[in-house]
Amino acid sequence: MTLASGTKLGPYEILSLIGSGGMGEVYRARDTRLARDVAIKLVAGVTGHDARTRLLQEARSAAALNHPHICTLHEIGDADGRLFIVMEYIDGRPLSQLLGEGVPPATDRRSDIWAIGVVLYEMVAGRRPFGGDTLFELSSAILRDEPEPLASRVPAPLPAVIWRCLAKDPALRYQHAGEVRAALEAIAMLTTTKSPASRPRSAHVSKRPRTAKSRIRAIAVLPLDNLSRDPDQEYFADGMTEALIGAVAQIEGLRVISRTSIIRYKATQKSLPEIARDLKVDGIIAGSVRRERPLPASSAE
């Protein structure tokens, strides 16, 4: 039964009906204590102790979320046997009205990168990275939780690529699908027989002066230089760097500086000893790479 304007639910006064559906009805209401408008959802078909407990768990999951595209949940209440959820009221237009006018595509490629990460994780783990029994629980897991670690049988650099795709902050993800492809190609090159068509050209390790009893405990892998100077191959150089960081990170007892910390040294004029002091590391891996394109079949001898 639709509530009439002026109906009271505890300290909330119903103003108007916003919308209704199979899950219940949503009203615009006035919080008489704080003098603000709120949205109240009357949940349909929630009866019994177990059902109410489950709804409370969902409400707690939703209340824990903090995201610009998710409305804030204020509280869950019960007035005269009516269970309701109080949420932030956001004034806007119905979706049907927007669809009628046409919605311009807003397709951010970084959300596609995240989707690639989800697929890669499921391919190597046999399960999805995030889960939940309800939409609220799933949303909460995506926004707050990290996926379970991958099995040790997964090639060492691959988890680093997947974690970067799944980064919570879009700015920390790969910015182009080509970068993901380059990283995966670099991993394949490092974990299989190297082909002459793509190979590192040179690499060396710079170390701080050490005593006989000291050893390298922290190391940085600097961005590999693209010898070809072909801008299209920058993705490959970055992918090789990412794969190399992931491989070195598997060495037990060795701390490897993250990619976000070393990226600023790409094409830097600083010397290796200066960089080592900046990063507080005992050693640096630096090098260059060039991907040689195979000759066309018609030109090959």
For residues 14 and 105, which has the higher predicted lDDT (pLDDT)?
14
Instruction: Kindly report the average pLDDT of the chain as a whole number.
Output: 78
C-alpha 225/C-alpha 218 separation (Å) is: 22
- DSSP secondary-structure letter at 70? S
pLDDT at 15: 96
Question: pLDDT confidence of 28, banded at 50, 70, 90?
Answer: very high
C-alpha 132/C-alpha 123 separation (Å) is: 19
Q: Angle, to 10 degrees, between the axis of helix 234-248 and the axis of helix 177-191?
A: 50
Question: pLDDT confidence of 201, banded at 50, 70, 90?
Answer: very low
SS3 content of the chain, % helix, strand, coil (to 5): 35, 25, 40
Q: Is the Cβ–Cβ distance between 67 and 143 less than 8 Å? A: yes
Q: Are residues 82 and 125 in the same domain?
A: no
Q: Mind listing the pLDDT tens digit for each residue in 233-272?
A: 777 777 778 778 877 877 878 888 877 788 888 878 888 8
pLDDT at 51: 62
Q: Is the Cβ–Cβ distance between 161 and 246 less than 8 Å? A: yes
Q: Is the Cβ–Cβ distance between 40 and 24 less than 8 Å? A: no
Question: pLDDT confidence of 100, banded at 50, 70, 90?
Answer: low
Q: Are residues 276 and 236 in the same domain?
A: yes
Does a structural domain hold residue 272? yes
Q: How does strand 36-43 pair with strand 24-31?
A: antiparallel
Q: Are residues 266 and 202 in the same domain?
A: yes
pLDDT at 29: 96
Does a structural domain hold residue 131? yes
Q: Are residues 140 and 202 in the same domain?
A: no
Q: Are residues 299 and 203 in the same domain?
A: yes
User: For 109-127, what is the mean pLDDT?
Assistant: 88
Spell out the alpha helix ranges (H) of 106-157. 109-125, 135-144
Q: Mind listing the pLDDT tens digit for each residue in 34-80?
A: 999 999 988 766 566 766 777 777 778 777 777 777 788 888 888 77
C-alpha 133/C-alpha 122 separation (Å) is: 18
Q: How many CA atoms does the CB half-sphere of 156 hold within 13 Å?
A: 15
pLDDT at 40: 92
Domain count, the chain: 3
Does a structural domain hold residue 133? yes
**Pick from 76, 259, 61: which is nearest to 143 by CA?**
61
Q: Are residues 61 and 112 in the same domain?
A: no
Does a structural domain hold residue 235? yes
User: For 209-237, what is the mean pLDDT?
Assistant: 73
Does a structural domain hold residue 192? no
Does a structural domain hold residue 185? no
Question: pLDDT confidence of 293, banded at 50, 70, 90?
Answer: low
Q: Point out the least confidently predicted range of 21-35, 75-89, 232-246.
A: 232-246
Please check the confidence at residue 16 and state whether its pLDDT lies above 60: yes
Q: Is the Cβ–Cβ distance between 61 and 134 less than 8 Å? A: yes
Q: Point out the least confidently predicted range of 84-93, 113-122, 181-190.
A: 181-190
Does a structural domain hold residue 193? no
For residues 167 and 231, which has the higher predicted lDDT (pLDDT)?
167
Q: Are residues 264 and 300 in the same domain?
A: yes
Q: Are residues 299 and 208 in the same domain?
A: yes
Domain enclosing residue 65, as ranges: 8-88
- CATH number of the domain at 73, please: 3.30.200.20
pTM of the model: 0.47
Q: How does strand 218-221 pair with strand 255-256?
A: parallel
Q: Are residues 70 and 124 in the same domain?
A: no
Q: Is the Cβ–Cβ distance between 233 and 185 less than 8 Å? A: no
Q: Is the Cβ–Cβ distance between 45 and 62 less than 8 Å? A: no
pLDDT at 135: 73
Does a structural domain hold residue 289? yes
Q: Are residues 117 and 81 in the same domain?
A: no
For residues 128 and 98, which has the higher predicted lDDT (pLDDT)?
128
User: For 175-193, what is the mean pLDDT?
Assistant: 75
- CATH number of the domain at 171, please: 1.10.510.10
User: For 277-297, what is the mean pLDDT?
Assistant: 75
In this structure, the number of other CB atoms found within 10 A of the CB of residue 247 comes to 19
C-alpha 216/C-alpha 208 separation (Å) is: 9
pLDDT at 30: 96
Please check the confidence at residue 158 and state whether its pLDDT lies above 70: yes
**Pick from 117, 141, 114, 115: which is nearest to 130 by CA?**
141
Backbone angles phi, psi at 284, to 5 degrees: -135, 135
pLDDT at 89: 92
For residues 106 and 236, which has the higher predicted lDDT (pLDDT)?
236
Q: Are residues 111 and 143 in the same domain?
A: yes
